[in-house]
Amino acid sequence: MAKNCHNDYKMKFSGDEEFPDLSLHNNHMAKVLTKDIYNKLRGKSTPSGFTVDDIIQTGVDNPGHPFIMTVGCVAGDEESYEVFKDLLDPIISDRHSGYKPTDKHRTDLNFENLKGGDDLDPAYVLSSRVRTGRSIKGFTLPPHNSRGERRTIEKLSIEALATLSGEFKGKYYPLNGMTDKEQDQLINDHFLFDKPVSPLLTCAGMARDWPDARGIWHNDAKTFLVWVNEEDHLRVISMQQGGNMKEVFRRFCTGLLKIEETFKKHNHGFMWNEHLGYVLTCPSNLGTGLRGGVHVKLPKLSTHAKFEEILTRLRLQKRGTGGVDTASVGGVFDISNADRLGSSEVDQVQMVVDGVKLMVAMEKKLEKSESIDDMIPAQK
AA letter at 276: L
**Beta carbon of residue 16, minimum distance to other proteins (angstroms, whole number):** 9
- Can residue 159 be called a binding residue for other proteins (CB under 8 A)? no
State how far the Cα of 88 lies from the Cα of 94, in Å rounded to an integer.
10
Q: CB under 8 Å, gap of 24 or more: what pairs does 181-190 form?
A: 186/216, 189/218, 189/222
Is 177 annotated for ligand binding? no
- List 65, 104, 147, 171, residue binding other proteins (CB under 8 A): 147
Peptide bond into 122 cis (omega under 30): no
**Beta carbon of residue 217, minimum distance to other proteins (angstroms, whole number):** 20
**Beta carbon of residue 212, minimum distance to other proteins (angstroms, whole number):** 5
- Can residue 203 be called a binding residue for other proteins (CB under 8 A)? yes
**Beta carbon of residue 271, minimum distance to other proteins (angstroms, whole number):** 17
Nearer to other proteins, 126 or 203 (CB): 203
- Can residue 352 be called a binding residue for other proteins (CB under 8 A)? no
- Can residue 183 be called a binding residue for other proteins (CB under 8 A)? no
- Can residue 191 be called a binding residue for other proteins (CB under 8 A)? no
- List 31, 106, 137, 151, residue binding other proteins (CB under 8 A): 151
- Can residue 267 be called a binding residue for other proteins (CB under 8 A)? no
Nearer to other proteins, 8 or 180 (CB): 8
- List 35, 36, 43, 47, residue binding other proteins (CB under 8 A): 47
Question: What letter does residue 379 receive in the DSSP assignment?
Answer: P
The residues pairing with 216 across neighbouring beta strands, listed in sequence order, are: 173, 227
Is 355 annotated for ligand binding? no
* Burial class of residue 211 (count of CB atoms within 10 Å of its CB; 0-12, 13-18, 19+): middle
Selection from 335, 206, 190 nearest residue 280 by Cα: 206
AA letter at 347: D
- Can residue 254 be called a binding residue for other proteins (CB under 8 A)? no
Identify each DSSP E strand in the chain by its residue range. Answer: 125-134, 170-174, 215-219, 224-228, 234-241, 272-273, 277-278, 291-297, 316-319, 332-337
Cβ neighbours for 237, distance < 8 A, ≥ 6 positions apart: 129, 130, 131, 224, 225, 226, 227
- Can residue 149 be called a binding residue for other proteins (CB under 8 A)? yes
State how far the Cα of 255 lies from the Cα of 164, in Å rounded to an integer.
8
- Can residue 94 be called a binding residue for other proteins (CB under 8 A)? no
98-137: contacts with other proteins (CB under 8 A): none
CA end-to-end span of the chain: 44
Is 284 annotated for ligand binding? no
Residues in the annotated binding site for ATP: 127-131, 190, 235, 291-295, 319-324
* Annotated binding-site members: 127-131, 190, 235, 291-295, 319-324
Q: Which residues bind other proteins (CB under 8 A)?
A: 1-10, 12-14, 17-21, 47-49, 53, 57, 60-61, 146-149, 151-152, 176, 202-203, 207-210, 212
